[in-house]
Amino acid sequence: MKSTLEDTTLRISFDGDLLSTNVHDLRPKLFQALEANPDATTLHADLKNCKVIDSMGLNLLIALYRECEKRKISFKAINVSPEVKRLFGFLNLTSRFGVE
């Protein structure tokens, strides 16, 4: 996972799938990235390398979304594959995650 700040946009890029087997490692890193960038007003979750997101991976994204809500940070999932977009679609997450 990589995080970069450009102006006030924090971009978090995931290296691969978001799965039950890696969310426990990712979770603290995500929250540390938020802590380390208090000036961020927008968060872009870059899902370019995420082919598969399971329910635990979704939970992680939802937790990140809620944390952003708390911190008044606008949340947006970018580079979303058609499969993941479909998943977001029937879970009513598309507009909340700012997916176009």
Task: List % helix, strand, coil for the chain (3-state, nearest 5).
Answer: 40, 20, 40
The CA distance from 15 to 22, in Å, is 11
The CA distance from 11 to 89, in Å, is 23
Interface segment toward other proteins; rule CB under 8 A; list 3-11, 30-38, 60-68, 71-79: 60-68
Q: Is 55 in the site for other proteins (CB under 8 A)?
A: yes
Q: Is 93 in the site for other proteins (CB under 8 A)?
A: yes
Q: Is 95 in the site for other proteins (CB under 8 A)?
A: no
Fill in the DSSP letter of residue 79: S
Compare residues 13 and 94 and give the one whose CB is closer to other proteins. 94
Minimum distance from residue 55 beta carbon to other proteins (Å):
4
- Taking the mean position of all CA atoms in its chain, how far away is CA 13? 8
Binding site for other proteins (CB under 8 A): 19-21, 51-52, 54-56, 58-59, 62-63, 65-66, 82-83, 86-87, 90-93, 96
